[in-house]
Amino acid sequence: MTATNVTFKVFRFDPEKDTEGRYQDYTLAVAPGETILNCVNRIKWEQDQTLAHRFSCGSAICGSCAMKINGHATLVCKTQAMDKVKDGVIRIDPIGNLKPLRDLVVDLTPFWKSFEKVEPWLAPDAHSAPEKERLQTPEQFAKIDNSTTCIMCAACFSDCNVLEVDKRYYGPATLAKAHRFIFDSRDARTEARLRKVTEETGVWDCTHCGECSTRCPTETKPLARINEIRQAAMKAGMHDTSGARHVLGFRETVGKRGLLDENYVPIRSVGFFNLAGLLSLAPVGLRMLARGKNPPFIPHSIEKAGEVRAIFAKREELNK
Amino acid sequence: MYSHDVVIVGSGLAGLRAAMELAGHLDVAVVTKVYPSRSHSGAAQGGVAAALGNMDGDTPEAHLYDTVKGSDFLADQDAAEILTSDAIRTIYEMEHFGCPFSRTPENKIAQRAFGGHSYQRACYSADRTGHALLHTLFEQTYRQGGNIQIYSEWYMLRLIVEEGIARGIVAMDIQTGRIEVFRAKTVLFATGGYGRAYKITSNAFANTGDGISAAYRAGIPLMDMEFVQFHPTGLYQHGILLSEAARGEGGYLLNGNGERFMQKYAPSKMELGPRDIVSRSEQTEINEGRGAGPNKDYVYLDLRHLGREKIMERLPQVYHLAKDFIGVDAAEAPVPIQPTAHYSMGGIPADKDCQVLLDEKGNKVTGFYAAGECSCISVHGANRLGTNSLLDALVFGRRAGKSILAATEGASFAPVDEKKELAAARREIDSLLHNGATEDLHAIREELKETMTLKVGVYRNGEQMKEAHGTIKELQARFVNVRVDDRRKNFNTNLLEALELGHMLEYSELIVAGAEVRTESRGAHARDDYPTRDDENWLAHTLAFRKDDGGYELKYKPVTITRFKPVERTY
């Protein structure tokens, strides 16, 4: 059980004198069992007091210390350093999708503000306030058990690929927060909440890349929660969004022919009578046509389409 | 200069609950050195106490007696009665705000056993109850919107008190380094505890007790500082908290020989004795050579017989902490543990309505209130029962809000000498940035923490405490030349750590001072040279006053006893 020398390449940035960030190397003898937070603290305390980073509880519950380790957001207090060494090096950057303020510290304002979109507080039926606790079955509690473990560390926000290109997207943590109320049996605004997160830039804008759940240090796992919200919205008949129509288009074509009709789905998604939407598809369609990449105009079926149809029929039956 | 009717320092359960009470009625600001959801209330795990009686025939009277007995009869019984009689309402209120609680098969709030409680009284959310409660209140601040102005990442530098009247605070914006006076009609401190003065501690790095010593520097005495709770199940060497719920759910404590040693110390309650007794039992096993491991310096928390399914359902956080931090699968192996500094019973003296006391005679500071762990009201006396701290923060947070509302409506701002206050704050900062720079900040801090853990820890004696006191004096002298390398204004956490260390050195002396003089053993204050409780001489609260020359003076005030005469405490 001896210590290993590890080079930490740490992002440094001081807006008062730097126009962009740079990396500074620190070498540390890392003991087995040492967490990355412990290493970063030792860098600050033993080698360079000018390093700025956030941390507080040191036990994975306050959510302060998310940083990018080798390019991926990680809660560093619960991460073993030796697990992350690559060729003797660990690279540490501030979390992404947020503006660096100094060194490993970012401006969290957009993250905190994103929660405002989902009115993150319980809205029970005002006319039925009991004297004691509201009753909830263990099964009903289990539905919000995962989403309420969120510690707001912003690791998901950091590595979300949608947020990288569209700052209007709700973001994974915010949707998990919405989930926590949509699935709370005590909340009386379920339908309005569902409608809100399925319209605008909510659940349907997620691309299923799964980064949020991979980076999440808790059981929140936002992608799973986003999927549960989508399913709830479909069940509630909220089909009048491009995301819902996209899903229906998938089901209609795959359920019929056993494969995706790539001409049909985009049109189905924007809506058959949405002239502006249809026109917006034209440039891509024309480019594909010009390069011979367009799907065949006459859709065909796979050989065993009958089996796929049977699966879908069984599923429909189960849903009833 | 900023100006608010009420300035609340601290954004944990007590601070946020008080803010909710005031929102919409007064212009209220919350100043926090972190973000609200980072506050240390969120780290509480096992539960929050209330005699709901969902599992058994519990009553508030039983809760009161358990609390007073747990306190080793140092709690003020009138205050403890407020705590326990308001508990049930508090839990229902939090449930109505949306707190997710685990449920019984009858769909009520589930309750589990906890150390020192004679009924299943701990309402819980798996083993992350503090987190559930804190996030519920944080959600409510979103609901309040602009009615509560939150200054996140602002560090409180000074409390302004003149002529017995609180006038506001001085604080620094951590993100820019800007220093501002916050003028206020009323100030509430909800700044948390001081457990970071110890090396082995369950406390967050932020728990440096700044509020407590800021009050002390402003001329307010500190009460019962020598009473520091050591939690029996800190993860070995890390000090990280493993919830008492682990024992509430049936976990065993084993020594190095595999024996359930609590049989010897608390035969009827076994592992569910109160924390002071269980921690001492562990320490005795270790001191007498029955510890585990190569150095025989820890004992075990054994959950194996609970089975993986129950562990994952009821104790998921405990499981993951052991797994992630020391690589032990608690379903398959016992977890190495040791006592860890956990809770500050002492703090800023306040009356039942949270108004801060100026002296041992009961005179009060106008416009200054304290609630939560930084306060000493005193509901926990010499030893707090598990699950009573979240309750304390919620009950007295709300109560502080109510008394502040009554006292502040119609009040006016007392004059503040802004220039003088800013100059005083800058002087302190300059003394850290411009000095001989010969002393290493981290080295001083480590020596302090080590000294506190080794010499003012679970067991204490006169000789060791004298040494500790000498060490602290020496560290205070070295601190005058502490080296701060960072000269930047924005996010200068080097400077912040120096400011925090200044506080730690100041109040740590008071912990030792109170402990040295108190020649008895009571609750968490256990002396091997004075092993018994001495009600004749020491049934009293300590008050440490700051003298003009920087020294201190200890005075005492009687304990309020209403219903329960002190008796010998056995479990």
Digit-by-digit pLDDT tens for chain B (571 residues) are 999 999 999 999 999 999 999 999 999 999 999 999 999 999 999 999 999 999 999 999 999 999 999 999 999 999 999 999 999 999 999 999 999 999 999 999 999 999 999 999 999 999 999 999 999 999 999 999 999 999 999 999 999 999 999 999 999 999 999 999 999 999 999 999 999 999 999 999 999 999 999 999 999 999 999 999 999 999 999 999 999 999 999 999 999 999 999 999 999 999 999 999 999 999 999 999 999 999 999 999 999 999 999 999 999 999 999 998 888 999 999 999 999 999 999 999 999 999 999 999 999 999 999 999 999 999 999 999 999 999 999 999 999 999 999 999 989 999 999 999 999 999 999 999 999 999 999 999 999 999 999 999 999 999 999 999 999 999 999 999 999 999 999 999 999 999 999 999 999 999 999 999 999 999 999 999 999 999 999 999 999 999 999 899 999 999 999 999 999 999 9
Quote the DSSP letter at residue B306: G
Residue B477 domain flag? yes
Residue B437 domain flag? yes
What is the value of pTM for the model shown? 0.96
Residue B195 domain flag? no
Among residues B304, B339, B374, the one where a domain terminates is: B339
- Give me the residues paired with residue A7 across strands: A27, A89
CATH of the domain at B499: 1.20.58.100
- Are B204 and A141 a contacting pair at CB < 8 A? no
Residue B283 domain flag? yes
Q: Residue B179: which H helix or E strand, with range?
A: strand B179-189
Whole-angstrom CA distances from B206 to A63, B32, B40, B234 are 13, 11, 8, 18
Residue B469 domain flag? yes
Assess A133–B contact: CB distance below 8 Å, yes or no.
yes
Looking at residue B20, its amino acid is M
Same domain, A310 and A268: yes
Q: What is the pLDDT of residue B117?
A: 97
Smallest CA–CA distance from A177 into chain B, residue: B139
Same domain, A41 and A113: no
Tell me the chain B residues in contact with residue A124 when contact means C-beta distances shorter than 8 Å. 96, 98
Tens digit of each residue's pLDDT (9 = 90 or more) over A128-145 = 778 999 999 999 999 999
Same domain, B324 and B433: no
Same domain, A127 and A11: no
Same domain, A273 and A202: no
Among residues A235, A250, A273, the one where a domain terminates is: A235
Assess B20–A contact: CB distance below 8 Å, yes or no.
no
Domains in chain A: how many in total?
3
Tell me the chain B residues in contact with residue A193 when contact means C-beta distances shorter than 8 Å. none
For chains A and B, count residue pairs whose Cβ atoms are closer than 8 Å. Answer: 162
Q: Residue A22: which H helix or E strand, with range?
A: strand A22-30
* Nearby residues of B198 by Cβ (< 8 Å), 6 or more positions away: B228, B239, B340, B341, B449, B452, B453, B457
CATH of the domain at B249: 3.90.700.10
Which of B16, B55, B96 to mutate: most A Cβ within 10 Å? Answer: B96
Same domain, A117 and A204: yes
Mean pLDDT of A91-120: 98
Whole-angstrom CA distances from B351 to B118, B212, B360, B401 are 28, 16, 12, 14
Among residues A105, A125, A148, the one where a domain terminates is: A105
Among residues B288, B320, B339, the one where a domain terminates is: B339
- Are B103 and A119 a contacting pair at CB < 8 A? no
Q: Containing domain of residue B267, as a range?
A: 232-339
Among residues A208, A235, A262, the one where a domain terminates is: A235
The answer to whether the CB of B376 falls within 8 A of the CB of B507 is: no
Residue B560 domain flag? no
* Nearby residues of B229 by Cβ (< 8 Å), 6 or more positions away: B275, B276, B341, B342, B343, B344, B345, B383, B384, B524
Which of A73-87, A220-234, A244-258 comes out lowest in average pLDDT?
Answer: A244-258
- Are B103 and A136 a contacting pair at CB < 8 A? yes
Task: Return residues 189-218 of B near A (CB < 8 Å).
Answer: 202, 204-206
Same domain, A100 and A135: no
Residue B446 domain flag? yes
Same domain, A90 and A118: no
Please work out, in degrees rounded to the nearest 5, the angle formed at the alpha carbon of residue B495 by the alpha carbons of B490 and B496: 90
Whole-angstrom CA distances from A82 to A30, A69, A71, A89, B329 are 8, 12, 16, 10, 19
Please work out, in degrees rounded to the nearest 5, the angle formed at the alpha carbon of residue B184 by the alpha carbons of B178 and B187: 100
Q: What is the pLDDT of residue A1?
A: 61
Q: Containing domain of residue A12, as a range?
A: 4-105
Same domain, B329 and B423: no
Residues of B annotated as catalytic are 275
Same domain, A119 and A225: yes
Same domain, A283 and A189: no
Same domain, B330 and B436: no
Assess A108–B contact: CB distance below 8 Å, yes or no.
yes
Domains in chain B: how many in total?
2
Same domain, A98 and A115: no
CATH of the domain at A63: 3.10.20.30
* Nearby residues of A290 by Cβ (< 8 Å), 6 or more positions away: none
Same domain, A139 and A199: yes
Q: Choose the closest CB to A129 out of B43, B96, B143.
A: B96
Q: How far apart are CA A252 and CA A248, in angstroms?
A: 6
- Are A133 and B95 a contacting pair at CB < 8 A? yes
Cis peptide before B125 (omega within 30 of 0): no
Among residues B309, B339, B369, the one where a domain terminates is: B339
Residue B73 domain flag? no
How close, in Å, is residue A50 to chain B by CA atoms? 5
Interface predicted TM-score (ipTM) of this complex, two decimals = 0.95
- Are B442 and A16 a contacting pair at CB < 8 A? no
Same domain, A62 and A180: no
